[in-house]
Amino acid sequence: MPTDLEFLETHRRIWQAKPRLRECYARYHDMILEHCPREARVLELGCGIGTLAEKARAEGHGRWIATDILETGCARIRCDATRLPFRPGSIDRIVFIDVLHHIARPLAFFEDAARALGSRGELMCVEPWVTLLSFPIYRWIHHEGCDLTRHPGSPFDRTGGKAAYEGDNGIPSLLCRRLRASDWERLGFEPPVVKTFNDFAYFSTRGFREGRDAIGPIFEGARFFFDRLLSPCSGVLGSRALIRWRRLT
């Protein structure tokens, strides 16, 4: 089994070799940056190989703080998402892509995120989302799996600990669907706002798997027909979501 850092280096190599995969992530980056004022103090969790931070800084986000649980070389600070090293109320936005479904104690994370965020601060992310179409893909094809019987507060307890990049694609959906408004209030947030979207173009690239990138006509066809024209059907066909939480006070 590769170590976490070896896994990260593989991601870096695949990212550089697959321009259409980079196009997919540019879409996610834009979704996040649209809700981040350039003057805001933004905390990015799980920055990995640093692609979101790089784009944010190129677009004038000068107070962007990239962090990761590993010493990645792209992270300004190394930290655990459940123990953020920031003063109460000192952060305007907390953002990430594909991190929530890796966090061992999600409820502890939300509690500490609410502490670090300032008044009416926001937490937002792009994550896998379970629908009628995506469930079998995440459950039986994707390497991280999708186990909807996990406990949303401690989803990895049964495994006896986890590696940094071990995850389960069902966790964001479990959290948003099982927790009630009163649960989110206790954690310090308003209930989440979920915007699902189709992501067939990403599937055509095979993601961060070794091998060739998507063939151009297949990629463009998936992006235009399935992701754009069929976007109203994302509640059934979608595989990802932009999820936003606002701090209560």
3-state DSSP of 64-105: EEEEECCCCCCCCEECCCCCCCCCCCCEEEEEEECCHHHCCC
User: Residue 247: its pLDDT value, please?
Assistant: 98
Q: What confidence category does residue 162 fall into, taking pLDDT thresholds of 50, 70 and 90? A: confident
Whole-number Å distance between alpha carbons of 171 and 127: 9
CATH topology of domain 4-246: Rossmann fold (3.40.50)
User: Residue 31: its pLDDT value, please?
Assistant: 98
pLDDT, mean over the chain: 96
Q: What are phi and psi of 208, to 5 degrees?
A: -90, 45
Q: What confidence category does residue 157 fall into, taking pLDDT thresholds of 50, 70 and 90? A: confident
User: Residue 159: its pLDDT value, please?
Assistant: 58
Range 103-112 average pLDDT: 97
Q: What is the pLDDT of residues 34-58, one digit of tens each?
A: 999 999 999 999 999 999 999 999 9
Dmax (CA) of the chain: 50
Range 54-78 average pLDDT: 96
Q: What confidence category does residue 164 fall into, taking pLDDT thresholds of 50, 70 and 90? A: confident
R_g (Cα) of the chain, nearest Å: 17
Q: What is the pLDDT of residues 12-31, one digit of tens each?
A: 999 999 999 999 999 999 99
Whole-number Å distance between alpha carbons of 202 and 198: 9
User: Residue 163: its pLDDT value, please?
Assistant: 85
Can you tell me which residue has the tokens 């936005």? 93
Q: Is 2 a residue whose pLDDT tops 90?
A: no
Q: What's 115's DSSP letter? A: H
Cβ–Cβ contacts within 10 Å for residue 17, how many?
Answer: 13
Yes or no: say if 48 and 26 are a contact pair by the CB < 8 Å rule: no
Range 213-238 average pLDDT: 98
Task: List the chain domain ranges.
Answer: 4-246
Q: Is 161 a residue whose pLDDT tops 80?
A: no
Q: Is 160 a residue whose pLDDT tops 70?
A: no
User: Residue 249: its pLDDT value, please?
Assistant: 87
Q: What confidence category does residue 1 fall into, taking pLDDT thresholds of 50, 70 and 90? A: low
